[in-house]
A = this chain, B = another copy of it.
Amino acid sequence: MIRISIDAMGGDHGPEVTLPSLLRVAERRPDARFLIFGREDEARPVLDRLPALADVSDFTHCEVAVRMDDKPSQALRNGRWKSSMWKAIEAVKDGEADVCISAGNTGALMAMSKFCLRTMADIERPAIAAIWPTIRGESIVLDVGATIGADAQQLVDFAILGAAMANALFDIERPTVGLLNVGVEEIKGQEEVKEAGRMLREAALETMQYHGFVEGDDIGKGTVDVVVTEGFSGNIALKTAEGTARQIAEYLRAAMSRTLMARIGYIFARDAFQRLREKMDVRRTNGGVFLGLKGIVVKSHGAADEEGFAAAVELGYEMVKSGLLDKTRATLDLYHARRPVAPAGAVSNA
């Protein structure tokens, strides 16, 4: 049995989308159980319409719902201890749930997750990992926006977290890991990135293959299973790729409707276009995973529809099932057992 706590109020559509999504998950994963947190007046009527979901769920009323535009500090001030978001996270901390899913606002969810769950031992900062569709399949990219900037040790930590996730999710024994950089010329590259590369090479961990530096165009190629970068560049890469995909879809739509011949061609190739749309469908890879905390939290896109939110829930389910936290802990222990003891501060300043 996998126990999943749900912030029913998160996202642009709230319980009207989140709860029907859970029914889809319940049908596909019979061993999933749900702890649902939300406002009685909004969530309960939806749940009452879905008896098959109610059978595998516990509902807890929470007065407060964090708003999509609350700043993290506001959300903490108004929503700590009592909001549906907080309660869903707390269920993981208290061992009542194995994983928490919310489509609520990212800043608030990260602030509450850090405050409530705390980071794992040996991890200074959590990261947000995205699943990125590539020509070869899927890769993991992190950090896509938990924090701005990262020193060498934090980048190494991200590599360990990402490799454990790739191992759990893609079932790859030694995932390949690359550090995102801007080229191989001597003047290029951030010092932290170069230092992290040296550290990963020296550590020679059995749980990953350190590939070296990769550039922006390597992400879509699927050159490595895990792409590591700090949150500013990672977020810009993610958003830029989303923007480019939308832009090309727009070009394609315009090209296919411009002439009669093109419209006829479109009719013949309808199935092919459908297949392309599915390939480019963000719902299939919906969900930013918070890594490095003492518990797993998955952030769904706020605008996700039922299938999109269900994908985020199933992502959380899979990671519990495949033992993400234990795998992460094992690699961290391996790394720290091997690392020579350095004077305080020496590593991150190196």
Contact = CB atoms under 8 A, between A and B. Distances in A.
Nearest to A217: B243
Give the size category of A's interface with B. Answer: 35 or more
Contacts of A245: 244, 248
Contacts of A280: 248, 251
Contacts of A265: 264-270, 272
A78 interface: no
A244 B258 contact: no
Contact of A237 (B185, B190, B240, B256): B240
A275 B248 contact: no
A339 interface: no
Contact of A247 (B135, B247, B256): B135
A134 B107 CA distance: 29
A250 B232 CA distance: 28
Interface string A212-226: 000111111100000
A236 interface: yes
22 contacts: A71-B186, A72-B185, A73-B186, A107-B185, A107-B187, A145-B188, A148-B189, A183-B235, A215-B236, A216-B235, A216-B237, A216-B238, A216-B241, A221-B243, A232-B233, A236-B237, A237-B237, A256-B272, A261-B270, A264-B265, A265-B265, A269-B269
Interface of A: 71-73, 107, 111, 133-135, 145, 148-149, 180, 182-183, 185-190, 215-221, 229, 231-233, 235-248, 250-252, 255-256, 258-259, 261-262, 264-273, 275-276, 279-280
